[in-house]
Amino acid sequence: MKEIMNLDRNIKLRLLVLLITELTGYAIAGNLVVYYIHYFDKFTAGILLMIASISNFLSSLYGGHFSDEKGRKSAIKLGLTLAVFGDLFAAVFNSPFGNFPRLTFLMFLLGGVGFNFAMPAFEAVIIDITTLKNREFVYSLVYWIQNISITLGAAIGAWLFRDYLFQLLLIVLLGTIVGWILSVVYMDETKPISEKFSNVRILDVIKGYKEVLKDRRYVTFIIGAVCSTIIFIQPDYSLATHLVQDFKTISFLGIEIYGQRMLSIVVMVNAVSIVLLVFLLKQITKNWTILKRYVFGAFFHGLGFMLVMLSDKMLPIVIFSVVFTIGEMINIPAAQSIRAQLMNPKKIGTYSGVFSAVIPIAQLIASMIVSESAFFGNISVVIFLLIFTLSRCFLTIKAVKMPSSHL
């Protein structure tokens, strides 16, 4: 607790904003596909989600460059203002006065674009203020808060989304407004004073990202991060498919546990383990080098998922879920600290924007693995997970040991 209280005020505000906005955001995000399928159809829902994903990605790219050129606070203010308007009208379009699904999609899209525009600036705030000494601790806090947000947000959404959508959207709006006030009114500009503020033009954005892509060290790390993310998102892809198709249904304490319920148990085991153990593991591994933490965590993270993919009974799956969660807890703060070290300190927002490409690329590859497993079975998924686990370690070690091009 003392270490938390000694953090810079802007970091503490950032953590509070993260807790509030992600908790309310996850209450909606996990149910969007249900909303779209209910009012449209599966094909249209997929198209709408693709549009949102691409829009959020492009927004992150532009927001990252904007935060470098106009300042972190300006980017956060603009992004959260868009999010407030999106959340406000999403509530209006699902109120007792009427329901308008097409307009609701546009408002959800606006809110998502706003948040993603601000995200690279929020990331830059942490890197601007933290040092090599306390950065990994701050990222551990971020990771812990995000998991609390996912758990509580998903629970709130599960109870309220179907029957009390208007009230839930008002809660989301309130969370966004509080986040806006804390960020815009109370946070300070953290962009170094020595760096000039300039205009933002599309050609400058493109030029900025071309310069980042010339940084072989960072690009090597990005490729490794794609391999890492493919493993992290398995609960939404191959793992979900495996449990739904292969899990042996049982009765536990009078409750029928089938594939989909087993998947939710895996997610809960993951979240609860993180909340309870993350700081204990940090204490245990505090004297390890950052690369040792990264490699050790990556190995057990990948191993746990491989073993779950080969299991079809509840107890082994729960045990192996704890294994991959332990690896995850050790790996993530180390990976985030390594990424911060590899960034050009004068282009943190732009570098963060490039990193936003990692998730959509990983999602595409994970989807392809699901398709091929229909022909070659779970063993092929395990082989891919092994390849990605070894690749993420090799590429990250290589990136760290490469000479920097911007020092």
Give pLDDT, residue 109.
94
| Residue 197, in any domain of the structure | no
- Answer for the pair 318, 312: CB distance below 8 angstroms, yes or no: no
The span from the CA of 227 to the CA of 388, in Å, is 5
| Percentage of residues in the chain having pLDDT higher than 70 | 92
In a shared domain, residues 29 and 166: yes
| Residue 82, in any domain of the structure | yes
Give pLDDT, residue 207.
67
Give pLDDT, residue 203.
62
Nearest to 62 by CA among 9, 109, 116: 116
Give pLDDT, residue 116.
87
What pairs with residue 251 in β-bridges?
Answer: 256
| Residue 141, in any domain of the structure | yes
Which of 28-32, 116-120, 176-180, 184-188 comes out lowest in average pLDDT?
Answer: 28-32
In a shared domain, residues 104 and 174: yes
CATH of the domain at 81: 1.20.1250.20
- Tens of pLDDT, residues 22-34: 888 878 876 676 6
In a shared domain, residues 33 and 180: yes
In a shared domain, residues 31 and 154: yes
Of the three residues 154, 186, 218, the one that is the final residue of a domain is: 186
pLDDT band at 42 (very low <50, low <70, confident <90, very high): low
| Residue 198, in any domain of the structure | no
Its pTM stands at 0.73
| Residue 39, in any domain of the structure | yes
pLDDT band at 20 (very low <50, low <70, confident <90, very high): very high
pLDDT band at 406 (very low <50, low <70, confident <90, very high): low
pLDDT at position 260 over 70: no
Domain tally, the chain: 2
In a shared domain, residues 225 and 368: yes
| Residue 302, in any domain of the structure | yes
Helix axes 378-401, 314-342, angle to 10 degrees: 20
| Residue 295, in any domain of the structure | yes
Give pLDDT, residue 296.
95
Give pLDDT, residue 304.
95
In a shared domain, residues 327 and 363: yes
In a shared domain, residues 278 and 144: no
Print the SS3 string covering 147-173: HHHHHHHHHHHHHHCCCCHHHHHHHHH
Looking at every residue in the chain, the average pLDDT score rounds to 84
In a shared domain, residues 181 and 228: no
- Tens of pLDDT, residues 328-353: 989 988 898 898 888 887 777 778 77
The span from the CA of 207 to the CA of 347, in Å, is 12
pLDDT at position 195 over 70: no
Of the three residues 133, 154, 186, the one that is the final residue of a domain is: 186
The span from the CA of 316 to the CA of 329, in Å, is 20
In a shared domain, residues 99 and 214: no
The span from the CA of 39 to the CA of 302, in Å, is 38
The two three-digit tokens of residue 24, written as one number: 């309310």
In a shared domain, residues 223 and 358: yes
In a shared domain, residues 154 and 301: no
pLDDT at position 393 over 90: yes
Query: Domain residues for 84?
Result: 1-186
Pairing of strands 98-99, 250-252: unpaired
| Residue 350, in any domain of the structure | yes
In a shared domain, residues 171 and 225: no
Of the three residues 186, 221, 236, the one that is the final residue of a domain is: 186
- Tens of pLDDT, residues 303-324: 999 999 998 888 999 999 999 9
- Tens of pLDDT, residues 122-170: 888 888 888 877 877 888 788 788 877 877 777 777 678 778 899 999 9
